[in-house]
Amino acid sequence: MIIYVTGILVFFTVIIIACEKDKKSSAPELPPLSTFSIQVDDFSTQKAAGSYNNFITAALATGYWNTVLTAYLAVPVATYAEAFNHPAQRLDNDTWEWTYQVVVQDTTYTADLFAFVESDGINVEMHISKEGGFQDFVWYTGTFNFQRTEGQWTIQDNPENDITWLNIMWHHDYEAKTFDIQYTNVYPTGDYKDSYIKYGTRKDNAYDAFYTVYSSPDDKTYEIDLNTTSHEGRIYYESLWHCWDANLQDAVCPE
């Protein structure tokens, strides 16, 4: 009987070890690009002119983020987006690497994305080298759980300063097909320190996307709801909702 039980235990031990090895034999799946790149161009002022006050107020509320993210995140976003087009190489039992090149504004960058499988989740580091310029700069790091339902990113300013300036927190519900992502300015100096913008999607027939924007220079918070199909929306400030219609014109808010 003892021999029989021992044999069973050994059998299941072998099965468990084999399963663990099989789990580690493939590269960890990266979080989707929506956990890194936020949608901020819904309020381009080119879409409206004249006295479209409510829509333009929303454009101004998101204007700071529209400007800085376009200027400072071009290379980080491009390098992360390209990772999904390349296979990872296994460096050791718990470390994987994606290596490839991207071209941003006629400049070639080499990206080395490392993933480290830990007991409680996955940590990643993006090392970027510029052709004829800086080398092996860790531009951003991240961590996420094995289910890829929540995580965060930390982004450095630039290779010259190497100062942390942006923190990203994100959540993703794959079953409901909804997500949210928040950018917070954590640069130690400057007028916009602690400013943030949060964007998310939800199951709502009227407004399926939302923004929350906090502007630290004037200590104001704006809430914005948007229908991504019709482009109708509304913005909450000064204790009132202010709406616009599908043509982006000011409209009476429904009760």
Query: Buried b vs exposed e over 24-63: b needs ≥16 C-beta within 10 Å?
Result: eeeebebbeebbbbbebebbeeeebeeebebbbbbbbbbb
Nearest Cα to Cα of residue 151 among 171, 166, 167, 165: 171
**Residue 240 tokens, joined:** 């009132």
On the 0-12 / 13-18 / 19+ scale of CB atoms within 10 A, 255 is exposed
Nearest Cα to Cα of residue 167 among 181, 180, 149, 179: 181
Helix %, strand %, coil % of the chain (to 5): 25, 40, 35
111 close to 99: Cβ distance less than 8 angstroms: yes
On the 0-12 / 13-18 / 19+ scale of CB atoms within 10 A, 150 is middle
pLDDT for the residue numbered 157: 93
Amino acid letter for position 45: T
pLDDT tens digits along 78-132? 999 999 999 999 999 999 999 999 999 999 999 999 999 999 999 999 999 999 9
First-to-last CA distance in the chain?
A: 75
Query: What are the extents of the domains in the chain?
Result: 46-251
Q: What is the pLDDT along the chain (255 residues), one digit of tens a residue?
A: 444 434 444 334 433 434 444 445 689 999 999 999 887 767 765 554 556 999 999 999 999 999 988 888 999 999 999 999 999 999 999 999 999 999 999 999 999 999 999 999 999 999 999 999 999 999 999 999 999 999 999 999 999 999 999 999 999 999 999 999 999 999 999 899 999 999 999 998 899 999 999 999 999 999 999 999 999 999 999 899 999 999 999 999 987
- Can you give the pTM of this predicted structure? 0.85
- Measured from the Cβ of residue 66, the count of other Cβ atoms closer than 10 Å reads 19
